[in-house]
């Protein structure tokens, strides 16, 4: 339900289900939106209904399934602030961190620096 004067954010994913790590994405987006002063009251995550069949005539009703994640992500501001603080600490260092490559480089996505980091390991 959307109340007048407040906003609902809908994060649309190119996926057929809600993945656990989407909640972290949503927590960050809610944090940023609320810090920017948006009167955000609800957050939903939408994904494709993989059983949906286009009926024609420009009717896309039912293509997306919305999941209300408001309760799951609105209370995570402190956690997001800790992530930001950690990222700022890393970004402020003069030398890049030495964490090494591993499974974290591919889960949940392939990192864009894989080629670079693996070249360091080979050097
Ligand atoms: S490839 Fe990405 S995740 Fe893996 S060590 Fe390098 S920067 Fe970190």
pLDDT tens digits along 72-88: 999 999 999 999 999 99
pLDDT score of 93 more than 70: yes
CA–centroid distance, 26 to ligand 1, in Å, is: 22
Q: Map out the domains of the chain as residue ranges.
A: 7-92, 97-123
110 contacts 21 by C-beta, under 8 angstroms: no
Ligand 1 centroid vs 96 CA: distance in angstroms? 11
Ligand 1 midpoint to CA 98 (Å): 10
Q: What is the pLDDT of residues 42-52, one digit of tens each?
A: 999 999 999 99
Extract the tokens encoding 87: 């990222």
Query: In DSSP terms, which residues pair with 75 in a beta bridge?
Result: none
Residues with beta carbon inside 6 Å of ligand 1? Answer: 99, 101, 104-105, 111, 113-114, 117
Mean pLDDT of 82-105: 91
Q: What's this model's pTM, rounded to 2 decimal places? A: 0.81
User: For the segment 20-34, what is each residue's pLDDT rounded down to a tens digit?
Assistant: 999 999 999 999 999
CA distance linking residue 116 with residue 118, whole number of Å: 6
**Banded model confidence at residue 121, pLDDT cuts 50, 70, 90:** confident
């Amino acid at each position: 339900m959307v109340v007048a004067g407040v906003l609902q954010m809908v994060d649309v994913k190119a996926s057929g289900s809600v993945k656990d790590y989407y909640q972290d994405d949503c927590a960050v987006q809610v944090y940023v939106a609320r810090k920017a002063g948006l009167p955000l009251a609800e957050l939903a995550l939408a994904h494709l209904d993989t059983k949906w069949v286009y009926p024609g005539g420009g009717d896309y009703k039912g293509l997306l399934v919305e999941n209300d994640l408001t309760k799951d992500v609105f209370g995570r501001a402190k956690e997001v602030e800790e992530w930001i603080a950690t990222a700022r600490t890393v970004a402020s260092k003069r030398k890049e961190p030495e964490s090494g490559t591993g499974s974290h480089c591919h889960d949940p996505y392939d990192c864009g620096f894989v080629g670079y980091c693996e070249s360091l390991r080979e050097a």
